Structure 1
């Protein structure tokens, strides 16, 4: 899917995003249609240079599917022969705790904030369900406010087709920077990782 950029367009009505159309002098036009700006939860959706942008046709906002699914943290599987796009949105929840019980997976001292400069040993507990397609693996990564990797990412291959699973994994992070440390959970599909869940740990 990365090698071939397939411009799959859909008309979307969702309360998760807003599309605003302005005059051509502001956003320009595409193939004779007015371009639209798209926001999801207040943040602009960026469309790569040269790709098909969001535009308005017959009173409907048309969006490139790939950018939409990435912004909504969903996965898309394209069948070129059938000209069909399948969208998958698994439920992935992450929790942070100093420890997790091996007996019943109960969280011991969960947290969401840390003191800046403190080194913390903790567990990222991931809970997955509604996984309706086979993926090749997953990755858990932690990024510092500067955008740098706070600790080496965990990559786990998957050989089974389980629809739901739990996965706890220990990390050690030195929270040297002030701000949001972003924890991302990504699935591997067609040799490409897609973020399906993310949370922050606040360093203050």
Structure 2
């Protein structure tokens, strides 16, 4: 009796193990690297097709992503956002450590092919502490426009890289970074 149970158990484990090996060979995880950085989530290759984590990829590319449940459609849009930092009429990107500067951020946006409800501009110091420069709701939908922040007076207390970020908020979604500009304090 024990021999029969053992034989049945060995047969079941063999079938189950073979199925698991087959399933593992039919689908495999793959590393996804975007602009030199590996994503937290892996992609999956199944039957010669690759499935990738779109939200993480769009975040890495600073693109906007939206999901339309009715049509089961994903849309990814990478608007062109060019930022310029002005102190009076002078463009800058390098400052003296320990100094205060009054400046504004200008952004030229084009190729925006999805509706957004708001935009904002922030600055992050070298330690990562982020401060809001300006936030604004958007009513009219345009595929291209200029945006200028009010003047901001900011102290560049530490040496290092300060990151100016331009965010957009797609309708019904969360804030997404679509462009960054560095200011170097030496």
Contact map agreement 2:119 2:168 (CA 8 A) in 1: yes
Contact map agreement 1:140 1:155 (CA 8 A) in 2: yes
Gaps of 5+ in 1: 1-28, 48-52, 100-107
Give me the TM-score of the superposition, normalised by structure 2: 0.80
Q: Greater helix percent: which structure?
A: 2
The Cα of 1:201 is off from its aligned counterpart by: 0.6
* 2:38 paired with 1:44: yes
* 2:101 paired with 1:120: yes
| Superposed CA RMSD | 2.0
Q: 2:72 aligns with which of 80, 83, 86?
A: 83
Contact map agreement 1:30 1:55 (CA 8 A) in 2: no
Q: 1:65 to 1:191 in 2, by over 3 A?
A: closer
Gaps of 5+ in 2: 1-22
Counterparts of 1:146 and 1:38, CA distance in 2:
28
Find the residue that maps to 1:185 and give its secondary structure: strand
Number of residue pairs matched? 162
Residue number in structure 2 paired with 1:158:
138
* 2:152 paired with 1:171: yes
Counterparts of 2:24 and 2:125, CA distance in 1:
38
The Cα of 1:31 is off from its aligned counterpart by: 9.7
Say which one has the larger Rg: 2
Give me the TM-score of the superposition, normalised by structure 1: 0.73
Contact map agreement 2:27 2:46 (CA 8 A) in 1: yes
Q: How does 1:1-204 map to 2 (within 5 A)?
A: 33-47=27-41, 53-99=42-88, 108-149=89-130, 151-169=131-149, 170-189=151-170, 190-204=172-186
Q: 1:32 to 1:153 in 2, by over 3 A?
A: farther
